[in-house]
Structure 1
Amino acid sequence: MTTTGLAFTLTWSRPVVLAECDPAGGDIGAGYLRHLELDGGHGLIQLVVAELRGQASEQFWSHLVDLDPPGARRLLLPGIATSAQAASLDPTWHSLAGFFSSLEHGNPGFDVIVDCGRLVTPYAPWPLLGRADLVLLVVKPTLASLLPARAVVQTLLSSAGPADDGRIGLVVVGDGDYDDRAVARHLGVPVIAHLPHDDRSARVLAHGGTARTRRPLLRAATAAEGKVMRSINGRRERLRGPGIWEAVHADV
């Protein structure tokens, strides 16, 4: 999941923030960015403290790390260091969801990709999912992956309202027992993107190094952006229908 979010972020054509909101802890600081030796002065837990003081909007940008310096167009909000900190996040998910939604209206506006981790963990960030334009569940095309994913999809669908049609999709990673059509049929939601198995790129994104945009994983992530945006824009068009006047934005 983190690898997928990072691949999308490194290839996204618009300004973007990747927010690590996995209650189990963030991986990028100790993996892809381990050469920076981040000191803990940046990240989600510091932003939560700022939010409790009503200072999140003023301090937000100081808690980000530039993934592709010096352009400041692909930024990371590092996650918590340990799952023991997860309980402190729970009361602020709602306010953070609203804050993330507001970032597209800045100058420049930023899209937000949120890595929510496994949704079966305690203190999962459900309010972030509720405010998202698009929720993408990462699965492998194997029975072992699809069986638990079905329960998560059903939970997401049961909490969705009539206006949430088309808000939930899948990212299929690698090859396995089923093609994309069978995966979509099994889980009852569409496949938005398929990322190939690419060990070399996955190792770089997990442990650090130079991410090659011509490698299969990042090429597929680049191609997926158009499909993601078409899905988001299509839903926004539907939300502009009679009786619905507000749309929200926080790409997950």
Structure 2
Amino acid sequence: MALIALASAKGAPGVTTTSLLLGALWPRPVVVAECDPAGGDVATRMPAADGSALDPQTGLTSLAAAGRRSLYPELVDEHTQQLIGGLEVLLGPPFPEQAGGLQATWPQLGPLLARRPRHDVVADLGRIGVLTPQNALLASADAAVLVVDTSPSSVVHLRHRLRPVSDTVGGAYGVPVHVAVVAPPKRTQTVREIRDALAATGVELAGVHHLAYDERGAHLFQGQTTSRPDKLALVRSAGPLVAELAAAVAHGSPVAAGPVDDQEPASPDSHEHEHGQRTGAHR
């Protein structure tokens, strides 16, 4: 199945929240994998399917230990957990110190997750730099999403990382690279300006998308619930990005970049029920 890698070039613009959001809206079976050596935080913000706490030691760390002799895709199933609502996750190491023991595992993770049977994988790589070990997953990705906020430093760092990321995920082979700009719903003009700034780098992007940040939407991916998640600006704005990514990795061809919409897009009806289930939202 397909591997979709999410990352940022600087700071914390919301890669984990965006990963959970894409997983919740994904139209096919999916696993969200925390692959951030700085330490995962899904276990501290989301409850398990039965309402209890997730086990922070069951995930990438336990998978690496179990696969010392042979690491194969089917082994992943034994180390995933379900969030309330049913979204399946592979938790990252809870602390950076534990990530140090994964040095031999990072190069194997990309091919492993990309070949996982019956499920696509959305991988949260956290912040990437020139020498960050999770960069190894990019070479196996079927699509990449770089998450950025509207701060000038965040945009400058993204411009600097665009070419290396594009080359790593496939360059001329047509692997789509998307950018998700996390900004308040009314900052459409700012998103357009960021799109133009990124276009000046000469890197061909499959799309620049406006993820409409709102507090209630962000809180949904910090373990809180709401009666109508499909009405939240963050959820509604993610529909086009999910549709383009799912189509691109299903058919092996990227979707051409389009203009940033002036109107806030509606969440596709086909995703509403499944999103409510996967996030555990009360409808």
- Asked if 1:15 is matched to 2:29, the reply is yes
Q: Indicate conservation of the 8 Å contact 2:64/2:105, yes or no.
A: yes
Secondary structure in structure 2 of the residue aligned to 1:117:
strand
TM-fit CA distance, 1:192: 4.4
Alignment-derived partner of residue 5 in structure 1: 19
Alignment-derived partner of residue 120 in structure 1: 129
- Asked if 1:54 is matched to 2:70, the reply is yes
AA partner of residue 147 (structure 2)? V
Q: Indicate conservation of the 8 Å contact 2:144/2:169, yes or no.
A: no
Counterparts of 2:111 and 2:169, CA distance in 1: 18
Q: Indicate conservation of the 8 Å contact 2:39/2:93, yes or no.
A: yes
- Taking only aligned residues, the RMSD between alpha carbons, in angstroms, comes to 2.5
**TM-score, normalising length: structure 2:** 0.72
Alignment-derived partner of residue 88 in structure 1: 101
Give the percent of matched residue pairs that are identical in Structure 1 and Structure 2.
28
TM-fit CA distance, 1:138: 0.4
AA partner of residue 92 (structure 1)? T
**TM-score, normalising length: structure 1:** 0.80
Alignment-derived partner of residue 212 in structure 2: 196
Alignment-derived partner of residue 138 in structure 1: 147
Q: 1:173 to 1:9 in 2, by over 3 A?
A: same
- Asked if 1:151 is matched to 2:160, the reply is yes
Counterparts of 2:64 and 2:225, CA distance in 1: 31
Q: Indicate conservation of the 8 Å contact 1:43/1:77, yes or no.
A: yes
Alignment-derived partner of residue 221 in structure 1: 238
Q: Which moved more, 1:37-46 or 1:178-187?
A: 178-187
Q: Which moved more, 1:126-135 or 1:148-157?
A: 148-157
Unpaired stretches in structure 2, ≥5 consecutive residues: 1-14, 255-283
Q: 1:183 to 1:198 in 2, by over 3 A?
A: farther
AA partner of residue 135 (structure 2)? W
Secondary structure in structure 2 of the residue aligned to 1:52:
coil
TM-fit CA distance, 1:110: 0.6
Q: 1:61 to 1:158 in 2, by over 3 A?
A: closer
Q: Indicate conservation of the 8 Å contact 1:19/1:79, yes or no.
A: yes
TM-fit CA distance, 1:200: 1.3
Q: 1:10 to 1:52 in 2, by over 3 A?
A: same
Unpaired stretches in structure 1, ≥5 consecutive residues: 239-252
Counterparts of 2:158 and 2:235, CA distance in 1: 24
Q: Indicate conservation of the 8 Å contact 2:106/2:133, yes or no.
A: no
Q: Indicate conservation of the 8 Å contact 1:143/1:177, yes or no.
A: no
TM-fit CA distance, 1:186: 4.1
